[in-house]
Chain A
């Protein structure tokens, strides 16, 4: 009952914020609220603008955050229509309308300061004395992937820090506090002016799947489905691959 009360409150707040509500019905107008993993921020913002341009009358609102935080928000009644998660585990935590589909994959690279001053060429180099490494904590997807990749390579390394998300790990490289960090290729690409991404073969064994789904009881079902279809269209995929994602 408490959860329903919270959901009602949030819905009222949402309506107040939009000022128009769901008067659009099933004709494909109105607003779609998309909860998406933080790593999708740049490509989804672009896709959202393209989608709005292609569908006059439709607006897309985004909430970008860590996938697990988003799943918690959705389960506590936040008014999301679409969820794009950086891990299948977080997608499983919510109730979807239909089966979630993997729309992109992301792979790890070793982020090093520009021009690679420590000469890192693979995972084994990270265990060299004097090399400080930042990993993501095991509890977040990039940390789980890093653990898998390190195990696959049979490399045992002691990081100086286990960061709370991939952007935090990357910022430690940008600031020069660590010599390397395991981050997603997309994050390294987005920070290409400050860091280089070193590819390594073992990352193929720790690919991260990104599922997307319309959430159960989404009020603007047609529009939500239209957005999911647009993301998976050639135009959407072009934006995503340009950002460093791979097609599944």
Chain B
């Protein structure tokens, strides 16, 4: 009963925790202090801002859906199936975390670009080119954000009690039925937490997006790209755009947290 224990929080935990929080929150305070509050409403209604915001929300959500479809099965495979080279595969999944996003964007171009390994075939067979399209933005965001989902879901799966799955198997359920009816509900909070992390990372994605999908208003210019370009000419406008992105994402995440994620 942690809440009941009236003991004092030990200083070796409290002090670094407080410093850690300060370190994370101070830059945000910097944005808030320097924000041009007087002109804020007028900047909000500039048409380019809403276009970029809408595109950001749309692409981050689509990227999260893509990550769920591909990432949850991948996490299950890593957590539940013994196969040779599993440790290597697990390490490979985290590559996009280590890779600078700009390098990730170049790598995506080399594969999905017009002269890329897969992209050339897509172009000649279906007439589809991915760079400079909204689909390209979704791909870039999914590439960078998927590890967050896979790691969260794999952790949840390894922590889950496998006796439920064994019981389901004893009662005659196949592996697929067990997965959909037992495993998935069991790790739902982990999947939700992973999806939220994944969405947040996709929303803030910059490097891979601008490298792979380029920058064009309405098509590939997401909020982070708009912020970066605003910074070239107008610091205040960049601050406003950052605050809008922050406010919207924090509101959405807070609302979701109350609704879905009951256990942290």
- Whether A176 and B215, one on each chain, are in contact in the complex, defined by CB atoms closer than 8 angstroms, is no
Binary interface encoding of chain A residues 158-178 relative to chain B, with 1 for a CB under 8 A from any of its CBs, else 0: 011111100010011001110
Taking the complex as formed, is B232 at the interface, i.e. its CB lies under 8 A from any CB of chain A? yes
* Chain A residues whose CB sits within 8 angstroms of the CB of B228 once the complex forms: 164
Please measure, in the bound complex, the distance between the C-alpha atom of A79 and the C-alpha atom of B132, giving whole angstroms.
39
Q: Is the CB of B115 within 8 A of A176?
A: yes
CB of A32, distance to nearest CB on chain B (Å): 27
> What's the Cα separation between A66 and B231 when bound, in Å?
11
Give every chain B residue within 8 A of A163 (Cβ-Cβ).
210, 214-215
Chain B residues 211-240 with CB under 8 Å of chain A are 211, 214-217, 220-221, 225, 228-233, 235
> What does DSSP make chain B's interface, helix, strand, loop or mixed?
helix
Q: Any chain B CB within 8 A of the CB of A84? A: no
Interface size class of chain B, counting residues whose CB lies under 8 Å from the partner chain = 20 to 34
Task: Give the Cβ gap from B237 to chain A, nearest Cβ, in Å.
Answer: 10
- B150 interface hit (Cβ, 8 Å): no
Decide if A160 touches B229 in the complex (CB within 8 Å).
no
Asked whether any CB of chain B lies closer than 8 Å to the CB of A39, the reply is no
CB of A63 closer than 8 Å to a CB of B:
no
Given A66-B232, A68-B233, A160-B132, also A177-B216 (CB < 8 A):
no
Instruction: Tell me the smallest distance from the CB of A149 to a CB of chain B, in Å.
Output: 19
* A 130-173 to B, binary, CB cutoff 8 A, 1 in contact else 0: 00101001011000000000000000000111111000100110
Shortest beta-carbon distance from B127 to chain A in Å = 12
Q: Which residue in B131, B210, B225 is a CB contact (below 8 Å) of A177?
A: B131
Contact A139 B109 (CB under 8 A): no
A-B contact pairs, 10 of them (CB 8 A): A66-B232, A68-B233, A69-B232, A72-B235, A162-B221, A164-B225, A175-B109, A175-B115, A176-B114, A177-B115
Interface residues of B (CB under 8 A from A): 106, 109-110, 113-115, 131-132, 210-211, 214-217, 220-221, 225, 228-233, 235
Residues of A that sit less than 8 Å from B by CB? 66, 68-69, 72, 132, 134, 137, 139-140, 159-164, 168, 171-172, 175-177
